[in-house]
């Protein structure tokens, strides 16, 4: 795995796959008024609604300034709303709107379709092994 040639470099291949998957996802979720940069936040909020911006940053692993910009756009697009945190009035809690909740089945279906397209022809056990290896690589890099 020491090669740095495009076709054999792990970083290049994974990056290329990520770009192709992002474009395929974009094509499927754009009709719903959602962009890939908002997708991770929506998934995290579908798992746990009503979190602080800091908690959401930790869940999706992006920095505060990027999150602030993304959340402003999501508010503008009617996907999230902020409410004062009852435990600390200086903070806001991020909540899904009814519109975002209604989009959940379509967004999940779009993501499943892209995942299925990317792994078409894989035996089920190879798909699971592939995902496991990617998670292992992520764990290695996260330290």
Q: What is the pLDDT along the chain (143 residues), one digit of tens a residue?
A: 556 677 778 999 999 999 999 999 999 999 999 999 999 999 999 999 999 999 999 999 999 999 999 999 999 999 999 999 998 888 999 999 999 999 999 999 999 999 999 999 999 899 899 999 999 999 999 87
Flag whether 4 is in a domain.
no
Flag whether 111 is in a domain.
yes
By residue range, what is the domain housing residue 133? Answer: 10-142
**CATH code at 115?**
1.10.10.10
Flag whether 1 is in a domain.
no
Global pTM reads 0.86
Flag whether 59 is in a domain.
yes
Q: What is the pLDDT of residue 118?
A: 95
Flag whether 56 is in a domain.
yes
Q: What is the pLDDT of residue 89?
A: 84
The torsion angles phi and psi of 71, rounded to 5 degrees, stand at -65, -35
Q: What is the pLDDT of residue 143?
A: 78
Flag whether 5 is in a domain.
no
Flag whether 3 is in a domain.
no
Mutual orientation of helices 124-142 and 10-29 as an angle, nearest 10°? 110
Three-class DSSP category at 78: coil
Neighbours of 98 (CB within 10 A): 9
Cα(15)–Cα(9) distance, integer angstroms: 10
Residues 6+ apart with CB under 8 A from 79: 34, 38, 42, 96, 97, 99, 100, 103
Cα(2)–Cα(112) distance, integer angstroms: 33
* The residue to which tokens 């959401």 are assigned: 56
Which of 64, 62, 55, 65 lies closest to 95 in space, CA to CA? 55
Q: What is the pLDDT of residue 3?
A: 60
Q: What is the pLDDT of residue 2?
A: 55
Q: How many domains does the chain have?
A: 1
Q: What is the pLDDT of residue 74?
A: 98
Flag whether 80 is in a domain.
yes
């Amino acid at each position: 795995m020491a090669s740095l040639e495009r076709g054999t470099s792990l970083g290049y291949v994974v990056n290329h796959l990520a770009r192709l998957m992002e474009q395929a996802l974009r094509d499927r979720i754009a009709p719903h008024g959602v962009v890939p940069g908002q997708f991770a936040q929506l998934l995290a909020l579908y798992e746990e609604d009503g979190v602080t911006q800091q908690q959401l940053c930790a869940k999706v692993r992006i920095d505060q300034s990027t999150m602030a910009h993304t959340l402003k756009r999501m508010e503008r697009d009617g996907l999230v709303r902020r409410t004062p945190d009852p435990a600390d009035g200086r903070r806001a809690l991020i909540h899904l709107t009814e519109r975002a909740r209604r989009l959940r089945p379509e967004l999940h279906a779009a993501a499943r379709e892209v995942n299925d397209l990317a792994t078409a022809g894989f035996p089920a056990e190879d798909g699971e092994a592939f995902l496991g290896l990617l998670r292992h690589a992520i764990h290695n890099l996260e330290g």
